[in-house]
């Protein structure tokens, strides 16, 4: 099993070299840990899908080291340039029309004419991407549909026998995946809420931004994170709970007496987002029969937290959990 190695200039260079030659490398971003592969090598991209057990119709986010690389891969509108100037590097993914003859594997966008692309802010991710010198497809480094990893140990636990290298850059600061904003159509729409809110985007663009998860298009999804059941622990999840039922763990938010763990005793959604996946993992044990979750305000980062929790609580396609 592959064990995490501490991030350093040397290990970041090694990780970049491994990515360039088609190996899979897990590395930290400010949102969650990503499972990276060379986005121009179909064999590497296919290995990502195989390692995660991910459906082929679920596209991947392409990570780039700089704006110049992003503009060689996608067609940037004025809105995209303004948003990139404000939020990149950072937790915002843009879905943009794909340029022709980019060298990107068709697998990264599930055959669609658009590409989901972002520039991460984490210094370790940036060092690795610069060392690789190529666009890197990198979904969350966990088995498909399960809880996203916010530490290197989480990656080793879920995919330790599927990756060539795991670079440990410490816990992820944001804790939920990037916001995905579709700019490939007539008007901007948030497909997946995340670390940048729709209100923040609207303030920059000077126009309303819809939250409208995309329907399946020709069998493919426009964005990652749109599966009905996703981010799920093995135990069933019950939302908006006032207290735990017998045998349940209680994941609190705010002043919740008797909470097994508390996302944020002070009711801070930023703190809650950073703790969400790690605490779900900690409670996902045979000591409980389920996980009850306190209500969380649907505002700011609370929108992203509630999105992840609703998908975690959704019926599982395989009937398990």
Structural domains counted in the chain: 2
Per-residue pLDDT, averaged over 67-90, amounts to 97
Residue 218, domain member (yes or no): no
CA distance 156 to 149: 9
Residue 100 burial (C-beta neighbours within 10 Å; 0-12, 13-18, 19+)? exposed
pLDDT above 80 for 316: no
Q: Where is the domain boundary, 211, 246, 274?
A: 211
Distance CA 205, CA 184 (A): 15
Q: Is 282 within the bounds of a domain?
A: yes
Q: Are residues 190 and 258 in the same domain?
A: no
Q: Is-contact 95 183, C-beta < 8 A?
A: yes
Instruction: Provide the CATH number for the domain around residue 130.
Output: 3.90.870.10
pLDDT beyond 90 at 223: no
Q: What would the mean pLDDT of 161-188 be, rounded to a whole number? A: 94
Instruction: Kindly give the residue spans of alpha helices, DSSP state H, lying in 29-151.
Output: 42-52, 67-73, 78-87, 123-132
Q: Among residues 196, 211, 226, which one ends one of the domains?
A: 211
With respect to residue 319, please indicate whether it lies within any of the assigned structural domains: no
The pLDDT tens digits for 239-268 are: 999 999 999 999 999 999 999 999 999 999
- Same domain, yes or no, for 134 and 259? no
Helix (H) or strand (E) holding 292: strand 290-293
Q: What confidence score (pLDDT) does residue 220 get?
A: 59
- Which range marks the domain in which residue 258 is found? 237-313
Q: Which tokens in the block code for residue 37? A: 């592969």
Tell me how far apart the alpha carbons of residues 263 and 217 are, in angstroms, rounded to a whole number: 36
Please give the model's pTM, rounded to 2 decimal places: 0.90
Do residues 171 and 303 both lie within one domain? Answer: no
The encoded tokens of residue 263 equal 């996302």
- Sign of the torsion angle spanned by Cα atoms 122, 128, 130, 135: negative
Please answer whether residues 224 and 61 qualify as being in contact, where contact means their C-beta atoms are separated by less than 8 angstroms: yes
21/107 same-domain check: yes
**At 214, phi and psi to the nearest 5?**
-75, 140
Residue 279 within a domain? yes
Statement to judge: residues 243 and 206 lie in one domain: no
Other CB atoms closer than 10 Å to residue 40's CB: what's the count?
20
Is the Cα torsion angle 89, 212, 228, 221 positive or negative in sign? Answer: negative
Say which DSSP state 177 is in: P
């Amino acid at each position: 099993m592959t064990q995490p190695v501490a991030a350093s200039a040397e290990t970041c260079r090694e990780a970049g070299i491994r990515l360039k030659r088609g190996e899979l490398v897990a590395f930290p971003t400010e949102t969650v840990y990503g499972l990276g592969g060379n986005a121009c090598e179909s064999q590497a991209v296919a290995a990502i899908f195989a390692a995660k057990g991910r459906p082929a119709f679920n596209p991947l986010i392409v990570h780039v080291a700089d704006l110049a690389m992003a503009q060689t891969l996608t067609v940037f509108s004025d809105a995209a340039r303004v948003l990139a100037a404000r939020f990149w590097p950072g937790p915002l993914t843009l879905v943009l029309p794909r340029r022709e003859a980019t060298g990107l594997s068709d697998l990264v966008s599930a055959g669609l004419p658009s590409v989901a692309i972002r520039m991460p802010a984490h210094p370790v991710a940036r060092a690795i991407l610069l060392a690789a010198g190529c666009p890197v497809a990198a979904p969350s480094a966990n088995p498909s549909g399960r809880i996203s990893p916010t530490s290197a140990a989480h990656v080793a636990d879920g995919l330790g026998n599927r990756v060539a290298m795991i670079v440990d850059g410490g816990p992820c600061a944001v804790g939920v995946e990037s916001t995905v904003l579709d700019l490939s159509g007539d008007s901007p729409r948030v497909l997946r809420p995340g670390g940048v809110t729709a209100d923040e985007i609207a303030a920059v663009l000077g126009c309303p931004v819809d939250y409208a998860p995309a329907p399946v298009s020709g069998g493919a999804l426009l964005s990652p994170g749109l599966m009905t059941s996703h981010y799920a622990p093995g135990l069933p999840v019950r939302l908006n709970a006032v207290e735990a039922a017998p045998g349940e763990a209680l994941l609190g938010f705010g002043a919740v007496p008797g909470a097994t763990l508390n996302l944020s005793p002070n009711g801070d959604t930023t703190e809650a987002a950073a703790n969400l996946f790690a605490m779900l993992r900690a409670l996902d044990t045979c000591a409980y029969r389920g996980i009850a979750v306190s209500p969380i305000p649907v505002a700011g980062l609370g929108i992203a937290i509630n999105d992840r929790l609703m998908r975690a609580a959704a019926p599982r396609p395989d009937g398990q959990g």
